[in-house]
A and B are shown apart, each in its own frame.
Chain A
Amino acid sequence: MDRANTKTRMRTARRFAKAGCWVASIAFMLAADPSLAALVYNLQTPVTPIGEQIFDLHTYILWICVVIFVCVFSVMFYSIFAHRKSKGHQAAQFHENTLVEVVWTVIPFLILLFMAIPATETVLAMKDTSVPDVTIKVTGYQWKWGYDYLDEGFGFVSNLATPYAQIYNQEAKGEHYLLDVDQPLVVPAGKKVRVLITAGDVIHSWWVPAFGVKQDAIPGFVRDSWFKAEKPGIYRGQCAELCGKEHGFMPVVVEVKSQEDYSKWASEQKKKSAPAADDPNKVWDAKELAARGEKVYAANCLACHQADGKGVPPAFPPLDGSKVATGPVAAHLDVVLNGVVKNGQPTAMVAWKNTLSPTDIAAVVTYERNAWGNHVGDAVQPAQVASAKR
């Protein structure tokens, strides 16, 4: 009997050793890779007061859990070690003990209280969006973020800047692979920024880990959140709610600038958006319009309708020789202004009336009617667009 027990124990020990070897060899394989120098394993370093509270709260709760875990399982593993049949341990037959059962109901309850108190404080702090210094509207689209500075009166769209060649492994991946945008959100340091968050199509979620902000962007509803970033720098996050094909490719990048830098940047932005405020009654000549239209086309339409105007049928119809681009102006304007709706569902052709200025629309429509094989020859004026918009 005894010998059998020793044998079993040795077998168990060997089994443990073998398992250990496996784990060790995998760990070794991984450790040998030089790129593994900096393994990520914790929340990102927070830069806002809320972010810090969340970080500390997580650490605090994690350690309480670890302590309880160690206590409970040292009892269990001691028991596994000591109360085994192979050691000749006789089973006790006790069960039910009201005192013990009350104690292990009440103590966890008290521990929970100690967790709930700091958590409640943080919840209330996170919800306090009053008296902001800057208010920015964030809109989630499939698959980019729109930012509108409500106090300043300008806005822009922020797209993924990582080239497709990197994503499809044709090029080495850059430093901020997938977390880089063409135009980041810029905010002043040390100021309370309130973000109004909504979406244009499906639900997205605007998330910057270092700020401790994650708020779902819900179409048709506006929700808000706030942050006060103390340290200038660039902070990166991602859309956190599955929003379709390119959900993994719509990063959030926030650049925190000192107050002076921010003011300088903001006034530049205002100036840049000035062309949008062209005199809507100015009468342009066709050449001017077409030249400007080409730029507008390249920025907004080319992705789908292609540089040669041939589109990618059937998903993206061609413009070159199309009925719309060579037919009556009114119908063409209607498509560009209001988009195309099929069976009550918006299609990939969205409405541009709120995104582009009347001048830009006039320009791009003129361009489309006179580019490639299209030679309608007319020039659409901003005033026409403005009246069609009504």
Chain B
Amino acid sequence: MSSIPHHQGPGHAIDDAHAHDEHAHHPGGIMRWITTTNHKDIGTLYLWFSFIMFIAGGCLALTIRTELFHPGLQIVDPEFFNSLTTLHGLIMIFGAIMPAAVGFANWQVPLMIGAPDMAFARMNNWSFWLLPFAAVLLFASFFVPGGAAAGGWTLYAPLSVQAGMGMDLTIFAIHIMGASSIMGSINIITTILNLRAPGMTMMKMPLFVWTWLITAYLLIAVMPVLAGAVTMLLTDRHFGTSFFNAAGGGDPVMFQHIFWFFGHPEVYIMILPSFGIVSTILPAFSRKPLFGYASMVYATSSIAILSFIVWAHHMFTVGMPAAGQLFFMYATMLIAVPTGVKVFNWVTTMWKGSMTFETPMLFAIGFIFLFTMGGFTGLVLAITPVDIQLQDTYYVVAHFHYVLVAGSLFAFFGGVYYWLPKWSGRMYNEKLGEWHFWLTMIFFNVTFFPMHFLGLAGMPRRVPDYATQFTDWNMVATIGAYGFGLSQLLFFYIVLSCIRSGPPAPAKPWEGADTLEWTLPSPLPYHTFETPPAIK
């Protein structure tokens, strides 16, 4: 029996695994990943899955951009083009952004609150392993007669009632992903509320945990609404009901009300965890506590509450009465207040700090800068008369890519760079990381900034072809899109080379980091923990 070696220096962390003569037997190879109930494994699975979906959805996007490089129909026919935009949306939202956020939650929530694992380890495994089935259904739908769903990710009736079998597969896929989300959020809520370490009170929880708690609430509240909506679509299609069919006494607009009642909170489901990640990274690299922790918590909660009363701002053109339009306009504008509080808080956190600009910090700053732009275009779109002009144009496309790509995705990139040393025990290549940031930042703007101009000038979204005055900006956007896509291969390389051959990471590679996980060694578990966590 060997005695336990003491490891103080960072360089030893990697070799620890080999210092032991005894290892428990657990399934190896693929079976290990299929049967795992460990939150770190499952977090890793979620993150890789979402990266694969990100690349797949990106390929669809590049096909779209290639078709739109020139006016005229070049490489795809219009129906397939519609399938591309539809599947790009669904895959990025349900396959890339949401699972990535759950991946972060799996890794970080237990570590940040001092819990042993997620509350329901077996259910955690199921909620991940449902996802690949949903993905297969979505991709398979391209090959069924009639092709994949082509009614836009919003699946508006009656167009989606008219569609072929691909729509049914999409509906099943949404059900599966919804079930996965519900299980995931039950797990996260229970873990956060019930499994905090002694002393970890609610108002001591890191902001990332707070934002995920609120996200999980939103998910539990609105996932049944989406499930109900697509089920009614299914019965309208096949079982003779007329929920959304005017001829049978239904109302096609009701689908939109139900869909957006889910859809708007969904927007916050996708962005709140990112707020949490940015609120974790900024203080670390500013070497200064977050300016207003409590006000951040309150701002997040009020955004979540407001998100239930603004859904019809997606429907200003369906022809609501003036009172309805005004109510939804005011409610939507109100969201600018808590969002402003967040941005001011972040900027004040940086103010008079002692900043360094490693890759996570760069992505966090890029997030604040571009997300705020997306926030402002959101405010422009909240103004009903202006929205009526811009609804369903490329301006909207620009807006939501600023909040979802430069918002959610940038924060996830930042989060990966920030925690990768902790997760893998190895450092990534900082220089390449910074390259990745600058390429992503520049090409993102080359791609999406011109879309504001296109939308203002009157180019509708979801069209495979366009009038010649829109050619120039479309060409710019397509060039940018290729640059953006290729830059992500660099990210893949950076992560891969970090995991396989990065230099060993110290337990706390970031000087200013102060959440619980940094008191543990890198790579995460076993060994050399000297003092129990002191929760301030």
Contacts and interface: CB of A to CB of B under 8 A. Distances in A.
A202 B255 CA distance: 13
B231 interface: no
Most chain B C-beta atoms within 10 Å of own C-beta, residue among A33, A94, A240, A244:
A240
B314 to A, nearest CB: 12
A38 interface: yes
A120 B472 CA distance: 36
A224 B385 CA distance: 15
Interface string B238-249: 001000011100
B149 to A, nearest CB: 12
A239 B350 CA distance: 46
Interface in A86-125: 86, 89-97, 100-101, 104-105, 108-109, 112, 115-116, 119-120, 122-124
B383 interface: yes
A57 B380 CA distance: 9
B250 to A, nearest CB: 8
A240 B354 CA distance: 50
Interface stretch (B196-204, B209-217, B340-348): B340-348
A91 B460 CA distance: 49
A19 B290 contact: no
A73 B379 CA distance: 18
Contact of B354 (A73, A91, A219): A91
Given A65-B380, A202-B162, A203-B252, A92 B353 contact: yes
Given A35-B471, A80-B365, A105-B337, A61 B379 contact: yes
B326 A248 contact: no
A127 interface: yes
Given A96-B293, A177-B468, A242 B337 contact: no
B317 A167 contact: no
B16 interface: no
B352 interface: yes
Interface stretch (A209-217, A292-300, A353-361): A209-217
B327 to A, nearest CB: 11
Contacts of B156: 203, 241-242
B473 A40 contact: yes
Interface stretch (B17-25, B113-121, B328-336, B411-419): B328-336
Interface string A197-229: 100011101010100101110111101110000
A194 to B, nearest CB: 13
A116 B329 contact: yes
Contacts of B319: 197, 215-216, 218, 223-225
Contact of A72 (B240, B372, B471): B372
Contact of A93 (B152, B289, B318, B368): B289
Contact of B322 (A91, A101, A124): A124
B317 A214 contact: yes
Interface string B270-294: 0000000000000000111111111
A119 B158 CA distance: 32
A95 B514 CA distance: 15
A205 B317 CA distance: 8
Given A53-B385, A57-B383, A219 B158 contact: yes
B476 A30 contact: yes
B284 to A, nearest CB: 11
Contacts of A36: 472
Most chain B C-beta atoms within 10 Å of own C-beta, residue among A122, A239, A242:
A242
B295 interface: yes
Contacts of A91: 286-288, 352-354, 512
Contacts of A239: 460
Most chain B C-beta atoms within 10 Å of own C-beta, residue among A43, A75, A126:
A43
Contacts of A221: 246, 251-253
B343 A72 contact: yes
Contacts of B368: 76
Given A91-B286, A177-B468, A85 B356 contact: yes
Contacts of B493: none
B458 A237 contact: yes
A40 B333 contact: no
Contact of A123 (B253, B291, B325): B325
A243 interface: yes
Given A19-B442, A249-B465, A96 B457 contact: no
A28 interface: no
A218 B467 contact: no
Given A57-B386, A61-B380, A95 B78 contact: no
Contact of B73 (A38, A94, A168, A236): A168
A207 B386 CA distance: 13
B126 interface: no
Interface string B350-380: 1111111100000001001100110010011
Interface in B26-64: none
Given A95-B292, A120-B326, A40 B454 contact: yes
B457 A44 contact: yes
A75 B460 contact: no
Interface stretch (B3-11, B389-397, B400-408): B389-397
Contacts of B372: 69, 72-73
B350 A76 contact: yes
Contacts of B463: 238, 247-248
Nearest to A238: B460
A83 B470 CA distance: 43
B348 A100 contact: yes
B63 to A, nearest CB: 16
B337 to A, nearest CB: 5
Contacts of B247: 219-220
B394 to A, nearest CB: 11
A197 B329 CA distance: 23
Most chain A C-beta atoms within 10 Å of own C-beta, residue among B240, B330, B446, B456:
B456
A272 interface: no
A53 B151 CA distance: 33
A220 B353 contact: no
B356 A84 contact: yes
B318 A178 contact: no
A91 B287 CA distance: 6
A65 to B, nearest CB: 4
Contacts of B383: 57-58, 61, 115, 119
Contact of B82 (A57, A62, A79, A242): A242
A330 interface: no
B295 A101 contact: yes
Contacts of A72: 343-344, 347, 372
B472 A35 contact: yes
A104 B150 CA distance: 44
A231 interface: no
Given A85-B355, A214-B389, A224-B319, 12 more contacts: A61-B383, A79-B347, A92-B352, A93-B288, A112-B334, A166-B72, A169-B70, A169-B73, A202-B162, A214-B392, A216-B319, A242-B392
Interface of A: 12, 15, 19, 22-23, 26, 30, 33, 35-36, 38-44, 50, 53-54, 57-58, 61-62, 65, 68-69, 72-73, 75-76, 79-80, 83-86, 89-97, 100-101, 104-105, 108-109, 112, 115-116, 119-120, 122-124, 126-127, 166-169, 173, 176-179, 197, 201-203, 205, 207, 209, 212, 214-216, 218-221, 223-225, 236-249, 344-345
24 contacts: A15-B434, A23-B446, A39-B453, A40-B454, A42-B456, A57-B385, A57-B386, A65-B376, A85-B356, A91-B288, A91-B354, A91-B512, A95-B289, A101-B295, A112-B337, A119-B329, A119-B386, A120-B329, A179-B467, A212-B385, A220-B247, A242-B151, A248-B464, A248-B465
Interface of B: 70-74, 78-79, 82, 150-152, 156, 158-159, 162, 240, 245-247, 251-253, 286-295, 317-319, 321-322, 325-326, 329-330, 333-334, 336-337, 340-341, 343-344, 347-357, 365, 368-369, 372-373, 376, 379-380, 383-386, 388-389, 391-393, 434, 438, 442, 446, 453-454, 456-458, 460, 462-473, 475-476, 479, 512
